[in-house]
Amino acid sequence: MSSRHVLTIDGPAASGKSSTAQWVARTLGWRHVDSGSVYRAATFARQQSPGTPATWTEPSVLSAAAGIGLTPVDGSFVPTLAGTPLGDEIRNLVVTAEVSRVAQMSGVRQWVNRVVQQAAEGHDVVVDGRDMGTVVFPDASLKIWLVADPWERARRRLQQRLGRGPSDEEIAAETDELVQRDAKDATQTVQARDAVLIDTTYLTQPEQVERIAALARSVASKR
Ligand code: DC
């Protein structure tokens, strides 16, 4: 039986997973699912209901998240809340500060896993996150573990955010934040034993995309 192909890309924050996954999916003609966007959408949905973040319980997050869906758009998926597409609001400061804690709620993880699996059903997909290759798609045809030096990850993130080359002081402060974020997400960021490690510190984005697409083509041709 010819089965669909699932390529998982996991790794720490700002390792370029989502942009690489999106680009690889486009190169292969597969669909891209960004699991982090679903955790962010759930956090954003909860933010829209009353109560400060300290009062956010798992049931209240799950209840707010009930209005979330993933809608296919241009070979990718956009999270929606009550049918309205969510954009940059899922990257607001409160969401970014609180999403790690929300992502540690086991019921929320089970819910996100189901949403991601349902979106991926019946398609060749590239899915990115922290535990796609271990928990959500343990039988994936190809698993990538994407890493990069924290300083370089911080530099890239700032370059994207500021649209200019950041100073060493700016990179140092961002590196500090990134290392703290890695520590917060550590329990759910798990390298699959059968993952291919790609360190992108010294790779350009086209190089990493081509490397992963070549691996995916090779695996797909054998199935
Ligand atoms: O990749 P990102 O920064 O958009 O992820 C947002 C948050 O969700 C981050 O705290 C890690 C968490 N996350 C997770 O726990 N498991 C995933 N599969 C994807 C993201």
| CATH value at residue 50 | 3.40.50.300
Does 129 reside within a domain?
A: no
* Whole-number pLDDT of residue 1: 38
Domain that holds residue 177: 1-15+140-218
Is residue 132 in a domain? no
3/53 same-domain check? no
Determine, yes or no, domain membership for 2: yes
Q: What secondary structure does DSSP assign to 128-142, as a single string? A: EESSIIIII-TT-SE
Looking at the fold, whether 185 and 109 belong to one and the same domain comes out as: no
Residue 182 Cβ contacting ligand 1 at under 6 Å = no
**Which one of 98, 123, 148 terminates a domain?**
123
Report the nearest-CA residue for atom 4 of ligand 1: 36
Å from CA of 2 to ligand 1 middle: 31
Q: Is the CB of 100 under 6 A from ligand 1?
A: yes
Instruction: Give the pLDDT confidence score for residue 2 in this predicted structure.
Output: 46
223 residues of the chain, pLDDT tens digit each: 347 899 999 999 888 899 999 999 999 999 999 999 999 999 999 999 999 999 999 999 999 999 999 999 988 999 999 999 999 999 999 999 999 999 999 999 999 999 999 999 999 999 999 999 999 999 999 999 999 999 999 999 999 899 999 999 999 999 999 999 999 998 889 899 999 999 999 999 999 999 999 999 999 888 7
Indicate which atom in ligand 1 lies nearest the CA of residue 37: 4
| Same domain membership, residue 114 and residue 45 | yes
- Here the tokens at position 86 are 């969510």
Are both 116 and 169 inside the same structural domain? no
Same domain, 158 and 109: no
Ligand 1 touching residue 39 (CB < 6 A)? yes
Q: Residue of the nearest CA to atom 6 in ligand 1?
A: 36
Residues 11, 35, single domain; the answer is no
State the total domains in the chain.
Answer: 2
Residue 110 CA, ligand 1 centroid: distance in Å = 14
As a whole number of angstroms, the distance between CA 145 and CA 139 comes to 15
Q: Is residue 40 part of a domain?
A: yes
Looking at residue 68, its pLDDT comes to 97
Task: Sort 12 into a burial class: Cβ within 10 Å, 0-12 / 13-18 / 19+.
Answer: buried
68 and 144 inside one domain: no
For ligand 1, say whether the CB of 150 is within 6 Å of any of its atoms.
no
Q: Has residue 25 been placed in a domain?
A: no
Is residue 133, in this structure, part of any structural domain at all? Answer: no
Question: Residues 35, 118: one domain?
Answer: yes
Same domain, 214 and 155: yes
Say whether both 77 and 119 belong to one domain: yes
Residue closest by Cα to atom 13 of ligand 1: 36
- Ligand 1 pocket check for 13: Cβ under 6 Å: yes
> Do 213 and 200 contact (CB within 8 A), yes or no?
no
From 94, 123, 152, give the residue that closes a domain. 123
- Any ligand 1 atom below 6 A from CB of 130: yes
Q: Which residue has the tokens 């997400």?
A: 185
- Within a domain: 188: yes
93 and 146 share one domain: no
CA 17/CA 23 separation, integer angstroms:
10
Residue 4 shares a structural domain with residue 70: no
CA of 129 to the centre of ligand 1 (A): 6
Contact 140, 6 (CB under 8 A): yes
Is 114 a member of any domain? yes
Distance (Å, rounded) from C-alpha 85 to C-alpha 193?
A: 36
How far, in Å, CA of 116 to CA of 77, rounded? 10
Read off the amino acid at residue 15.
S
